[in-house]
Amino acid sequence: MTEHTVTAFDDDLRAITGKVVEMGGHAEALVSRGVKALLKADRALAQSVIADDAILDNLQFELDERALLVIAKRQPMASDLREVIGSMRIAADLERIGDMGKNIAKRAGMIDNPISPRKLAGGLEHLTSLALGQVKDVLDAFVARDAAKADRVCEKDDEIDNLYTSLFRELLTYMMEDPRNITVCTHLLFCAKNMERIGDHATNIAETVSFMVTGHATLSKHGSRATGG
C-alpha cells in the first residue's frame, strides 16, 4: 500500500477502535442503570434505559458499516484483517451486554417497591460490580492490545460463576423461608443470571482480543461464545 493508503487505513482503525470504546461505555452504563432501576423500582429510570438501548444498536450499525467499507476498500490481510473482524465481534458482544441491561430495566416495571431487605440487594450489587469490572478490564486490554491482560480476564471468570452460584442458593433459601419473597427473588435471580452471562461476554471479548494480538484462537471453558441473555 502507498503511504497515503496506509495512513488512511490507520485512521479507519482508530475510528473503529473509538467506536468500540464508545459502545463499551454505553453498555456498562445501561447495565448499571438497569440494576439501579430494578433495585429502586424506579420506572422512570427503567424507561430511559430501555430507550437508550437504541443508541448502542446504532453505534454497532455504524461500526459494522465502517468495518465492512474498510474491508471492501482496503482489502486488509493477516493482522490488519484480524483488527477489523475482531472489532466487529467485540461490538456484537457489547450489544448483547447492553440488551441485558435493557432486559433488567424492564423488570423494574413489574415491582412496586424498592428491593428489601437490604441484604437481598447486596449480593446482586456485588455481582454487578464484579461483572462490570470484567467488562472495563477487557476493554482496557482491547485498547492496549494487551493479550496478557485479556487472558487474566478469562482466568477471573470463575469468580463470577462462583458468586452467582452462591447468590442463587441464597435467594432460593429466602424463597423457601418466606413465600412472600418469591416474586422479588425471582426478579433478582433473573438479574443475577444476566450478570453471569455478562461475565461470559467479557470472556468472549478477551478471547477475541487475544486472537487479534496473537493470531491464535482459543476456546473458553464454556465451549463456545456466549450468545444467550
191 — pLDDT class (breaks 50, 70, 90): very high
The percent of residues in the chain predicted with pLDDT above 70, rounded, is: 92
Is 226 part of a structural domain of the chain?
Answer: no
Is 219 part of a structural domain of the chain?
Answer: no
Residue with the bigger pLDDT between 113 and 208: it is 208
* Distances in whole angstroms, Cα of residue 209 to Cα of each of 22, 65, 229: 17, 21, 22
Is 31 part of a structural domain of the chain?
Answer: yes
pLDDT, tens digit, 9 for 90 and up, residues 134-167 = 999 999 999 999 999 999 999 999 999 999 999 9
- Supply the range of the domain harboring residue 170: 3-214
Overall number of domains in the chain = 1
pLDDT, tens digit, 9 for 90 and up, residues 4-19 = 457 888 888 999 999 9
Is 33 part of a structural domain of the chain?
Answer: yes
Is 222 part of a structural domain of the chain?
Answer: no
pLDDT, tens digit, 9 for 90 and up, residues 57-113 = 999 999 999 999 999 988 888 888 999 999 999 999 999 999 999 999 999 888 878
Show Cβ contacts of residue 192 under 8 Å, excluding neighbours closer than 6 positions: 123, 124, 127, 164, 167, 168, 171
47 — pLDDT class (breaks 50, 70, 90): very high
Is 229 part of a structural domain of the chain?
Answer: no
Domain holding 150: CATH number? 1.20.58.220
Is 151 part of a structural domain of the chain?
Answer: yes
Cα 189 to chain centroid distance, Å, stands at 18
Q: What is the pTM of this model?
A: 0.89
Residue 194 contacts residue 148 (beta carbons within 8 Å): no
Cα dihedral 2, 143, 27, 153, rounded to 10, equals 140
Q: Which three cell numbers stand for residue 219?
A: 476456546
